[in-house]
Structure 1
Amino acid sequence: MSLEQASEIQRRMYDFIVNYMKSEGMPPTNREIGRELNIASTGHVDYHLTMLEKKGLISRQAKKSRGIKLTKQVQEGIPVMGIIAAGEPLDIFSDASSSINIGSDMIETENTYALVVRGRSMIEDHICDGDYVVIKPQSTCQNGDIVVAVHMQEGASGSSTLKRFFQEKEHNRVRLQPANSELDPIMIPKSVWDREWQIQGKVVAIFRQCIAAA
């Protein structure tokens, strides 16, 4: 079950447990959790731990003061799933090849992934060749969203491109708009879009590696 379905105090408790285990190499006690979250009652702490356990986020060993275990591996950074074209569509990504660390306090990192941008079609949105775009997986979007649009080709896994999405109902088509005044948009009849294309996610953040001069 997703952490998003937990209450705010349970999310804070889970984050503390994760960070404590990273820094100390062992889980915290109920008293340590209560002290961190300003909860005076260990029974109150135990209640929220029980809720996290019911949501499948942790498991606990009875009669052990440090008996908390995480039920899934904590992701170190955001996985980089491959290359995305800011230009002509490229072959779709598949498996993670590396990861980038951006800090979970900056954006919601659960289920997100990163892609390396290739091309200059989005430069007027300050997305340059070599940048990382962080993608939130979803199959729907709103007009103006920057999305990963996938063209599913017969007998192949498909190809993907990074563009702004616009549904032009008056023309019965979808427009994939580059952010480069030198380039033309991709115009797709609605019937073709419904049959051959899909949205795989939208951009929620952009990161650029800066190399300091020697």
Structure 2
Amino acid sequence: MLTRKQNELLRYIHDHLSQSGVSPSFEEMKDALELKSKSGVHRLISALEERGFIRRLPNRARALEVVKMPDAGKAAPAKPPVTLPIAANDIVELPLHGRIAAGTPIEALQGTESLAVPAALLGPGEHYALEVAGDSMVEEGILDGDYALIRKTDTARDGEIVVALINNEEATLKTFRREGQMIRLDPANRRYDPQRYRPEQVQIQGRLSGLLRRY
């Protein structure tokens, strides 16, 4: 038998995983159950784990898996455990290609460093990370020293933030626009002017998928 709060928490985790594939944070669980502190969440999690209803996934930050759900009623026949999707908050090691800097193509930035990134920040496809240099995208909330998480692609749509290689020698992070027969790369800082190039001068090397900031 589960207590009312244990049952509420189990069903909340179940629904959250079913809808998003990501286990809720302790803060979200605390608020959902109207608890006063996260220590209450820890006690409920431990109780559910001891009773075999949930399992903590090793080497994954706050990742939980629901192993089974309680039967709806005592008279109902025993049901097999319900297996739900594994939480999508694994840690992924992305290749870190250095800082975006003038005169440096992405290929030249490739090295042996990597960056640990929560998988929940990434969508489908192959990704890499770049350290942002400068303030040209500050009005998009992209600051010097941030890590841009880039999905590899060679195409872009208007309004997407992309990594563009200019004349096969300069990599830059800008908003992609088509302007007549030209390609316009817009900074997000009023102190800088847009850059215009012929299509053959611009090679798209990825689209911004997420941002990671260390404090």
TM normalised by structure 2 equals: 0.55
| Alpha-carbon spacing, 1:105–1:35, altered in 2? closer, same or farther (3 Å) | farther
What is the aligned partner in structure 1 of residue 128 from structure 2? Answer: 113
SS of the counterpart of 1:201? strand
Map Cα deviations across residues 180-209 of structure 1 (whole Å, 9 max, x no partner). 001111012xxx322x22101110101111
Whole-Å Cα distance in 2 between the matches of residues 179 and 204 of structure 1? 17
Amino acid at match of 1:193: P
How far off its partner does 1:37 sit? 3.4
Match of 1:208 among 187, 204, 213: 213
What is the aligned partner in structure 1 of residue 75 from structure 2? Answer: none
Match of 2:138 among 118, 123, 131: 123
| Alpha-carbon spacing, 1:90–1:97, altered in 2? closer, same or farther (3 Å) | farther
Contact map agreement 2:92 2:119 (CA 8 A) in 1: no
Contact map agreement 1:83 1:93 (CA 8 A) in 2: no
Contact map agreement 1:150 1:197 (CA 8 A) in 2: yes
| Alpha-carbon spacing, 1:90–1:83, altered in 2? closer, same or farther (3 Å) | farther
What is the aligned partner in structure 2 of residue 79 from structure 1? Answer: 95
What is the aligned partner in structure 2 of residue 168 from structure 1? Answer: 179
Contact map agreement 2:95 2:114 (CA 8 A) in 1: yes
What is the aligned partner in structure 2 of residue 183 from structure 1? Answer: 192
Whole-Å Cα distance in 2 between the matches of residues 126 and 206 of structure 1? 9
How far off its partner does 1:83 sit? 1.5
How far off its partner does 1:93 sit? 2.9
Whole-Å Cα distance in 1 between the matches of residues 142 and 177 of structure 2? 19
Aligned residues: 137
Whole-Å Cα distance in 1 between the matches of residues 148 and 82 of structure 2? 34
Whole-Å Cα distance in 1 between the matches of residues 191 and 177 of structure 2? 19
Amino acid at match of 2:176: F
| Alpha-carbon spacing, 1:202–1:182, altered in 2? closer, same or farther (3 Å) | same
What pairs with 1:34-183 in structure 2 (closer than 5 Å)? Answer: 37=83, 76-85=92-101, 89-94=102-107, 95-108=110-123, 110-153=125-168, 158-169=169-180, 172-183=181-192
How far off its partner does 1:76 sit? 4.7
Contact map agreement 2:154 2:204 (CA 8 A) in 1: yes
How far off its partner does 1:97 sit? 3.4
What pairs with 1:184-199 in structure 2 (closer than 5 Å)? Answer: 184-188=193-197, 192-194=198-200, 196-199=201-204
Q: CA RMSD in A?
A: 3.0
Residue identity over aligned pairs, in percent, reads 31
Structure 2 residue runs without a partner (length 5+) = 1-20, 22-55, 61-79, 85-90
Structure 1 residue runs without a partner (length 5+) = 1-11, 13-18, 24-33, 39-74
Contact map agreement 2:151 2:207 (CA 8 A) in 1: yes
TM normalised by structure 1 equals: 0.55
Whole-Å Cα distance in 1 between the matches of residues 145 and 100 of structure 2? 10
Contact map agreement 2:97 2:111 (CA 8 A) in 1: yes
